[in-house]
């Protein structure tokens, strides 16, 4: 236990050192960049140069422009077009989980699921299954070394991460070229389509390197945190069968479960999901109690007071999402999993500002939050409609917070498929169904 504690402290210290170093480097480089542009003003002219930011070195305000394009990627219209594809990916995954004779590691499989969702749905890539599996393994190596110390030595995590990134970009470039050459038969515009079209609307043709970087960023945004939240959702439904049954009752009441079976394969709509009030409460409570990331960093734009102390302009500060949720006075019994706290009758999250911020807050709130919530809602509906699942170990695993919240050694669960009357599908029937998929 002592050594585990020391390893956690060491990992947190390394992560903090990396984040501080990167923050300081960005701050210094931006200030030098501002001075560089200020020095170019025409001294013979008395007029000042325009106010505003010059962005960061080399990339300028490209990041801001990309953020405007991400807003299109996660618009209501875009989410509506993604929904049938997301549902089909989840259905295929749950069917595969149920066909396994042994228990599965939910966290590992949730990572595969969110990776598949990003590649198949967000990017619209038609990568063969074997190649997709190999790409996932390389991507995992890349993610595991993202927060390595920037020391480029043989066998270092940094070197492994760079090598994985190079292999990834090679595979992504092949997929992008194939996608650009095959434009027939598409029934929706995916995120990469929107990114390309938006750049053309702004008079800018994206280079292959920009496309690869944008593609990798979209996968990264949809991967780790969504896998974490998906695992937490399954764990809480296992711990609280009454919540799962209440969720099924809501599905029946809304006509999404007829005689125990779900008739809505591939036909879910956003308005259907928005009408499921209890489902929304369940997802909110999962995100309150098991927020995937600890918090975020911000730069103080104007000196302000906090509990009698001044926080000077220019300081880098960290806000903690988990501490905020744990100490917010509006939440009662904060350690209890209680979806009804978000019901219309109680609405604990409405009693004040900034008590509930699983996706951050302000102008820099997570752009993909609506996609993440949509994915979790569809997963919950499919779990409640088509699966029975049980813990395969005697006790639930411990939780670790690094790099994102997830169960230590995963979460071992056995899944069983259900027929239209919520009866367990026999193994021989499951094998036949799997063979036809």
The reported pLDDT for the residue numbered 425 is: 60
CATH number at residue 308: 1.10.630.10
Question: Does residue 270 fall inside a structural domain?
Answer: yes
- Cβ-contact 297, 317 below 8 angstroms: yes
Query: How much is the CA Rg of the chain, to the nearest whole Å?
Result: 24
The reported pLDDT for the residue numbered 361 is: 83
281 annotated as belonging to a binding site for a ligand: no
Question: Does residue 162 fall inside a structural domain?
Answer: no
Structural domains of the chain, count: 1
For residue 358, give every residue at least 6 positions away whose Cβ sits within 8 Å of its Cβ, in sequence order, or none: 287, 288, 291, 321, 325, 369
Question: Does residue 54 fall inside a structural domain?
Answer: no
Question: Does residue 60 fall inside a structural domain?
Answer: no
pLDDT single digits (tens) 28-42: 777 776 776 666 555
Note down the domain range covering 344. Answer: 68-126+182-436
Question: Does residue 2 fall inside a structural domain?
Answer: no
pTM of the model: 0.80
pLDDT single digits (tens) 349-407: 888 888 999 998 887 888 899 999 999 999 999 999 989 999 999 999 999 998 899 99
pLDDT single digits (tens) 281-328: 999 999 999 999 999 888 899 998 988 899 998 899 999 999 999 999
Distance in angstroms (rounded) separating the CA atoms of residues 223 and 98: 23
pLDDT of 90 > 80? The answer is: yes
Interior CA angle at 169 toward 167 and 174, to 5°?
100
pLDDT of 436 > 50? The answer is: no
Higher pLDDT, 191 or 38: 191
Distance in angstroms (rounded) separating the CA atoms of residues 42 and 35: 14
pLDDT single digits (tens) 215-268: 998 998 889 999 999 999 999 999 999 999 999 999 999 988 755 455 455 578
Question: Does residue 273 fall inside a structural domain?
Answer: yes
Where do the DSSP E strands lie in 137-197? none
pLDDT single digits (tens) 95-129: 999 999 999 999 999 999 999 999 999 999 999 99
Question: Does residue 390 fall inside a structural domain?
Answer: yes
DSSP assignment of 279-341, as one string?
HHHHHHHHHHHT-SS-EEEEE-SS-EEETTEEE-TT-EEEEEHHHHHHH-TTSSSTTS--GGG
Band of residue 341 on the pLDDT scale cut at 50, 70, 90:
very high
Q: What percent of the chain has pLDDT over 90?
A: 57
Where do the DSSP E strands lie in 51-210? 104-105
Question: Does residue 31 fall inside a structural domain?
Answer: no
Distances (CA, A) of 249 to 362, 385, 390, 433: 36, 11, 20, 27
CB atoms inside a 10 Å sphere around CB 64: 11
Distance in angstroms (rounded) separating the CA atoms of residues 26 and 2: 36
Mean pLDDT of the chain: 85
């Amino acid at each position: 236990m002592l050594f585990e504690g020391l390893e956690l402290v060491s990992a947190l210290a390394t992560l903090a050192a990396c984040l501080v170093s990167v923050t300081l480097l960005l701050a210094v480089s931006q200030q030098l960049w501002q001075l560089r542009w200020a020095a170019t003003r025409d001294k013979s002219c008395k007029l000042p140069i325009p106010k505003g930011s010059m962005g960061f070195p080399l990339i300028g305000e490209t990041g801001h422009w990309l953020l405007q394009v991400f807003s299109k990627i996660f618009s209501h219209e875009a989410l509506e077009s993604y929904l049938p594809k997301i549902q089909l990916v989840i259905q295929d995954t749950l069917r595969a989980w149920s066909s396994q004779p042994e228990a599965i590691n939910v966290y590992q499989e949730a990572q595969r699921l969110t990776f598949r969702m990003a590649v198949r749905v967000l990017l619209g890539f038609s990568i063969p299954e074997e190649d997709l599996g190999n790409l996932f393994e390389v991507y995992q190596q890349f993610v595991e070394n993202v927060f390595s110390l920037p020391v480029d030595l043989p066998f270092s995590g940094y070197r492994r991460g760079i090598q994985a990134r190079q292999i990834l970009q090679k595979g992504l470039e092949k997929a992008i070229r194939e996608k650009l050459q095959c434009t027939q038969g598409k029934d929706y515009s995916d995120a990469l389509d929107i990114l390309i079209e938006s750049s053309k609307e702004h008079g800018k043709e994206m280079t292959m390197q920009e496309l690869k970087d944008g593609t990798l960023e979209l996968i990264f945004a949809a991967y780790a945190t969504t896998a974490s939240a998906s695992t937490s959702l399954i764990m809480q439904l296992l711990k609280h069968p009454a919540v799962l049954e209440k969720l099924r009752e809501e599905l029946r009441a809304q006509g999404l479960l007829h005689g125990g079976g779900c008739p809505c394969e591939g036909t879910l709509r956003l308005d259907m999901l928005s009408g499921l009030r209890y489902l929304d409460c369940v997802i909110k409570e999962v995100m309150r109690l098991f927020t995937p990331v600890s918090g975020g960093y911000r730069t103080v734009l104007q000196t302000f007071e906090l509990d009698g102390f001044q926080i000077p302009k220019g300081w880098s500060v960290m806000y903690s999402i988990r501490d905020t949720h744990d100490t917010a006075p509006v939440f009662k019994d904060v350690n209890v999993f209680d979806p009804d706290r978000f019901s219309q009758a109680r609405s604990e999250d409405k009693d004040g500002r900034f008590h509930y911020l699983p996706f951050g807050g302000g102008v820099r709130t997570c752009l993909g939050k609506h996609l993440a919530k949509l994915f979790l809602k569809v997963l919950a509906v499919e779990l409640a409609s088509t699966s029975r699942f049980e813990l395969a170990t005697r006790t639930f695993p411990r939780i670790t917070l690094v790099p994102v919240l997830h169960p230590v050694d995963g979460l071992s669960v056995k899944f069983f498929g259900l027929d239209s009357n919520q009866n367990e599908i026999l193994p021989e029937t499951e094998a036949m169904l799997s063979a036809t998929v």
